[in-house]
Chain A
Amino acid sequence: MRRQALDNLRAAIEANTERRTLEQLKAQGKRTVRVVSGEKVMQIITAIVNDVVDREVGDATERDRDRIVTETKQQFDRVLKIQADQEALLQEQKDLVGQYRDKLEAAQAEVERVRKQIEDLRAEEGEREAHLIAEHQELLRELNERYTAAAGRAKALEQEKERLSQMLEEEKRRAADREQRQAEEHDARVEGLRKEQAELVARLQAEKGAVAGRQEQALADANAKLHEVEERAAGDRDARVRAEQKAETAERDAQQAVAAAKEAEARRAEADRVTRDLAAKIETQRVALEARDREVLRLTEDLAAARAAAGKADDVRKLEEQLSQMHQFLRVLDERSAGANEATVQALVEQLSQKQTLDTQSLEAKFNQTLDASLEKFTKTVEAATAKPIDIVVEATDVLVDKIFDTPADQMSTNLDSLEVDQKRSKRGIGGSLAALRAMRGGKGKGPGEGDKKGG
């Protein structure tokens, strides 16, 4: 066989066959195989070609045979080349497919990575959002509660302020009326006192003048009588004795007149003393008024302290104004009372003192009452906000429990009586706790309950 033909055959065999190891063949279940050599195959092909040529061509010459074989071989080489080209092309396609597959896997991995990234970001966002929403809701709830509480407090304070304003207005009106009445009464009384005083002075003066006049008249009469007696005495002793007697009588009359004058003088001195006493009493009353002024000042300071505690600035300011007005009124009273009669002024001052005390006490009582009422209301409001309700427990009655389910209990069937329940035992007893509780309660052994009420 020619070497060139053998080489071509070898290439064709390699292109159209596969290598297998003996182990692979065994694995495929092949125990025996036919083995043929390349030379043998060439011989077979040559024999086949010769037969074909002989059959087709017949008695062809050696030259024709060689020509046919050569052409056939060339055709076979061409086919082999085409096949080799196709194999190469196929390998190229396989390589390309492999590359595309690698690229596809890489792209899929990238897609997976991006998708996971998106999921992570989404979860993070959701978490943040949920947290923010929870925070906002909590904040809104808190703000709403505070607003509601503040609105309630503001409304309560407003109502309280309104009520106190009305009370103060009423009090102002009453105080004004009272002041008006007192001023009028005072003026009338003072006028009366002045008139009385003037009359008294006039009476005293008239009395004094009358007494002096009487005294002078009596002296003049006595002198005249004495002169007459002296004239009569010159002529007649009896007349002189009668005249002496008349002179004695006149002297007695004169002494009586002097006594009367002295008495009038004493009464005048008494009137002066009373006037001095009256002035002293007025001074005393002025001191008392000053003391009361100090008391009013103390009340004012207490009022300021109470204002700080109660927090009702407007009300306190108005009360202070009232107090200062009362103060001024007292000063006016003091001035007006300076020129009055002793007893009347004393009565007037005492009356005014009582009224002032009453007014101050009344005002103080009124303020304390208002403050106490406000504090009590505040305390009740706080207690209402924080007080625990009284718990009342109502037990579902047998009737109610049966009515909950339409079918009466005796119409049901169950196997509960014949089944065991899962249970576990604990060696950790309750003796220590019970002993401690009994010792704590002094052995009274009452349970805690809910306010120690039964369930019903």
Chain B
Amino acid sequence: MSGESSTIRFKQADGSVQAQQADAPAAKTQPKSEVALGKGLDVGTANLLSAAQDESGEIVVKRERNAFLEIPAEFASNKDMLTRLNVPYVTFQNRMYVLGDASFNLANMFGKEVRRPMQDGFLSANEQDAIPMMRFIIERLLGQPAQPGEPCYFCIPAPSIDKENDTVYHEGIVSGVVKKLGYTPRAMNEAHAVIYSELADHDFTGIGVSCGGGMFNVCVAYKTIPAVKFSVARGGDWIDGHVAKVMGIPRTRATAIKEGDVNLTSPRTREEEAVVLYYRNLISYVLQNLKQRFQLARDVPQFEDPVEVVVAGGTSLVGGFVEVFAEELEKVEFPLKIAGVRRAEDAMTSVVRGCLIAAALADN
């Protein structure tokens, strides 16, 4: 994936283009803050990330794949070897589970599939036994709190507009796990976290879109206050599945094509064309629903100036994503004036950064 930090500017009705100020955050480094307590936690379908400030004020981001694998009992005795190989494991009742990235590597070796605690952004109904596994991974990422009750903000998706789901169980379990580790847990909308991370120079006013594997989350905020937030139950996995189906290829191949060097503005093969088709369909779907939700929302503040759109998440890393997003946005005739579209400086860690900012703010 190209992952280039491009910004698409929109010409306004009076012919002017919004100032280039918004490009600056992509390049400049924020000043160091006094080290506040607090940690951020991104609970994603594919990856779990944590963020914290070290003594020097630098941000330390830790990542682990949200997956685990039960390995055969005959290998369970070689614990020392697994430790030497830096393979995290948990054992109980003569069963051994390998956690995180190592589970993918071992899955190929044992000819098994990894198990995923989460599906489509929420705890998987088919993997209730996986909750303790996720707890261990979260514990590994967060570590011990600097002091009892240290704030920890974790992200949750908004309820989907196109699928029956709710955040009650998911939020309750994650809150319980984080609290059990000694933190004070608080939940935060995923797309709202993107706004906290990327729109400081715009008074935290604009539109944040978190493009994940299981779903896309959207938030429209005015001076940190969310006016509209929702999610759609389609993400990178949805694209993979549909491309595989229509092209008659394995899903893993579709994923490899999507995560390869494809550019959405210039597909070279029929498979890449299919990827482009489904990306455009998904982006258009999200924008149409955003327009409708915005128009139906009550008590929406007046956005006097054009607002910035920031996209983040692994699914936004494909080449040409920002350009295609901007094209589809112009077709939609959104009721807000849009200054431009850009990708977060680090699309993979934008959400967890936003959670960290919220936690550090709560520490005061």
Residues of A within 8 A of B (CB): 120, 122-123, 126-127, 130-131, 134, 386, 393-398, 400-401, 404-405, 407, 409, 411-416, 418-438, 440-441, 443, 445-450, 453-456
Contacts and interface: CB of A to CB of B under 8 A. Distances in A.
B62 interface: yes
Contacts of B298: 386
A405 to B, nearest CB: 4
Contact of B172 (A393, A420, A422): A393
A393 B171 contact: yes
A131 B243 CA distance: 11
8 contacts: A386-B297, A401-B173, A401-B180, A434-B357, A437-B361, A450-B171, A455-B179, A456-B176
B357 A437 contact: yes
B364 interface: yes
A143 to B, nearest CB: 15
Q: Which of A416, A440, A447 has the most chain B CB within a 10 Å cutoff?
A: A447
Contacts of A448: 188, 192, 196, 224, 226, 358
Nearest to B249: A123
Nearest to A397: B176
Nearest to B196: A433
Contact of A440 (B175, B197, B224): B224
B151 interface: yes
A320 B2 CA distance: 73
B200 A436 contact: yes
Interface residues of B, number: 93
Contacts of B136: 414, 416
Nearest to B285: A138
B90 interface: yes
A134 B88 CA distance: 43
Contacts of A428: 29-30, 59, 345-346
A393 B175 contact: yes
Given A414-B88, A434-B360, A422 B30 contact: no
B58 interface: yes
Contacts of A123: 246-248, 270
Given A127-B277, A130-B246, A386-B296, A413 B91 contact: yes
A398 B179 CA distance: 9
Contacts of B79: 415
Interface stretch (B31-39, B259-267, B302-310, B332-340): B31-39
Given A395-B185, A396-B172, A437-B361, 6 more contacts: A130-B245, A134-B281, A411-B93, A416-B136, A431-B31, A456-B185
Interface string B210-254: 000000000000011010000000000000001001111000000
B186 A430 contact: no
B187 interface: yes
Interface string B192-216: 1000110010011000000000000
Looking at chain A's contact residues, the main secondary structure is mixed
B63 interface: yes
Interface stretch (B11-19, B124-132, B316-324): B124-132
Interface in B101-139: 101, 128-129, 131-132, 135-136, 139
B176 A430 contact: no
A426 B175 contact: no
B8 interface: no
Nearest to A408: B92
A429 B89 contact: no
Contacts of A414: 88-91, 136
A413 B95 CA distance: 11
B356 interface: yes
A453 B184 CA distance: 11
A446 B362 contact: yes
B96 to A, nearest CB: 10
B60 interface: yes
A342 B104 CA distance: 108
Contacts of A127: 246, 274, 277
A129 to B, nearest CB: 8
Contacts of A400: 176
B1 interface: no
B153 to A, nearest CB: 6
B66 interface: no
Contact of B242 (A130, A435, A437): A130
B257 interface: no
B172 A426 contact: no
A447 B246 contact: no
Given A404-B131, A445-B362, A396 B88 contact: no
B57 to A, nearest CB: 5
